[in-house]
Amino acid sequence: MINHLHGTIFDRGKDFVVIECAGIGFKVAVTASTLGELPVGDTAVMILTHLQIRDGGGDIFGFSCEEERELFFALTGVAGVGPKSGMSVLSVLGGNGVISAALRGDAKLFSSVPGIGKKLAQRMVSELPDRLKRLTSGTLESDGKFHVASGNSSEPSEAVDALVSLGFSRTDAHDAVVHARKNNPDNTDSEKLIKDGLVHLYANSRSTSR
């Protein structure tokens, strides 16, 4: 897992940057807002990331803040929304636009994003409000603003990524980590969250198989 990258920007395009870390250049897909926030020139930057493994390699997606990364996870948790589609939605609508459209049930706005059809947009407005409220490291307030919890919020995300790497879906992994934190709110250690999440996932699999 790659939680973040810290280095200098070697190159950039309309939807990516190449960050050089210790002589290695990592190509990172980014949203329009993240690209706009990154400095120009030989300046040190730190960007939060998510590594998506696929056949033949992998893709790194970058985010300027934890809020944007959590929104990306919420979007890609909807069936039919892949990582690239999730980044497109965030680029076109922005974080506030995604939250606002989800809360209003505005499927038309989601379908205005290239690659998002009417059926998928309807599924997004149906599932996103609940997913936004169940984010592992923050809360969605009634004013439509997303707030990340205090403390080190990377541990829940790392725990979710670890469960996904073990073969569980991101939705199930998110639910397991949320369950683990509800049972022990003070638990922010990623290793403990993974263990508790696995207990919950295996208990669920046994109950559904009966």
Strands 16-21 and 4-12: antiparallel
Tens of pLDDT, residues 148-178: 444 444 556 677 777 777 777 766 777 787 7
Q: Look over the chain and give the mean of its residue pLDDT values, rounded to a whole number.
A: 82
> What's the CA gap between 117 and 1, in Å, rounded?
32
pTM: 0.67
Q: For the residues 93-121, what does the mean pLDDT come to?
A: 91
Q: Are 151 and 137 in contact (CB under 8 A)?
A: no
Least confident of 12-16, 73-77, 175-179: 175-179
Give pLDDT, residue 142. Answer: 44
Give pLDDT, residue 185. Answer: 64
> What's the CA gap between 174 and 186, in Å, rounded?
17
Q: For the residues 104-122, what does the mean pLDDT come to?
A: 94
> What's the CA gap between 136 and 71, in Å, rounded?
11
Structural domain boundaries in the chain: 4-63, 71-148, 154-209
CA distances from 90 to 62, 98, 155 (A): 12, 7, 23
What is 4-63's CATH number?
Answer: 2.40.50.140
Question: Backbone dihedral region of 48: left (phi > 0), alpha (psi from -120 to 50 degrees) or beta?
Answer: beta
Number of H helices, E strands in the chain: 8, 7
Q: Which residue has the higher pLDDT, 188 or 18?
A: 18
Q: Which residue has the higher pLDDT, 18 or 130?
A: 18
Tens of pLDDT, residues 77-102: 999 999 999 999 999 998 888 988 88
Asked if the domains at 71-148 and 154-209 fall in one CATH topology, the answer is no
For residue 29, is pLDDT > 90?
yes
What is 154-209's CATH number?
Answer: 1.10.8
Q: For the residues 117-133, what does the mean pLDDT come to?
A: 91
CB atoms within 10 A of CB 150: 7
Give pLDDT, residue 156. Answer: 61
Query: Among residues of the chain, what percentage have pLDDT more than 90?
Result: 41
CATH homologous superfamily of 71-148: 5' to 3' exonuclease, C-terminal subdomain (1.10.150.20)
Give pLDDT, residue 15. Answer: 93
Give pLDDT, residue 150. Answer: 41
Structure tokens at 18: 């190449």
Residue in 163, 157, 152, 164 with CA at minimum distance from that of residue 194? 163
Q: Which residue has the higher pLDDT, 113 or 177?
A: 113
For residue 120, is pLDDT > 70?
yes
In this structure, the dihedral spanned by the alpha carbons of residues 36, 40, 43 and 49, taken in order and rounded to 10 degrees, is 30
> What's the CA gap between 169 and 163, in Å, rounded?
8
Scan for tokens 């690659």, then name that residue: 115
CB atoms within 10 A of CB 74: 29
Give pLDDT, residue 122. Answer: 95
Give pLDDT, residue 116. Answer: 95
Q: Which residues pair with 100 in a beta bridge?
A: none
